[in-house]
Amino acid sequence: MIPSTVRRRVALYRRLSAAGVRRTSLLLYPLRRRLPPHHQRLDLDSGDYELYSAGHPPGLQLSAGSGRWEEKAAEGPLLGVYDGAQFDPVKGSLRPGDVLMLFTDGLVETSDRDIVEGIDRLTGEADRYVAGGFHGAAWHLIEAVAKDVNDDRALLLICREGSTAALPR
């Protein structure tokens, strides 16, 4: 079951988009209610974005043109540790058919699995959705990758609608 706080944020985002708001700022909060790991600015018209991080895993962008996942790692210390900390965003652009995946470390890292292996497992599972689309995929990915993990498990998929005809089959 998707937590009500996540459902409310998604519903608000959809209402803003339907009302014509063309620039938005999204916060992805871990389900455990710690401080936010990712902050993203997204221009809904152009697909341009800035991704900030506070010491959390990189975002992953699927390029519809190549069918490959690329890490989008922003620079920044843990949030709240240093006064006046500098957070430098990574900038990117979502083209039609592209997907941006943001997630918490509890989804990809455990005491017996390092983060690189976890990210590889996540992208491997996410590849199953490339041909059919990512609608409704977030919860399924969480369950496939970290079903019995007793840690924060949050995942946000941002998909830019458009033709995926250029995707390799």
Complete domains list, the chain, with CATH: 4-159 (3.60.40.10)
Q: List phi, psi (to 5°) of 123.
A: -65, -35
Asked which of 19-33, 54-68, 141-155 is least confident by mean pLDDT, the reply is: 19-33
All residues at 6 or more sequence positions from 124 whose CB lies less than 8 Å from its CB, including other chains: none
Report pTM. Answer: 0.70
pLDDT at 102 over 60: yes
Q: How far is CA 45 from the centre of its chain?
A: 19
Q: Which pLDDT band, with edges at 50, 70 and 90, does 168 fall under?
A: very low
Higher pLDDT, 27 or 73: 73
Bridge partners for 157 per DSSP:
101
Assess contact for 75 and 88: CB atoms under 8 A.
yes
- Which spans in the chain are helix H? 4-18, 105-108, 115-126, 137-146
> Mean pLDDT, to the nearest integer, of 60-87?
83
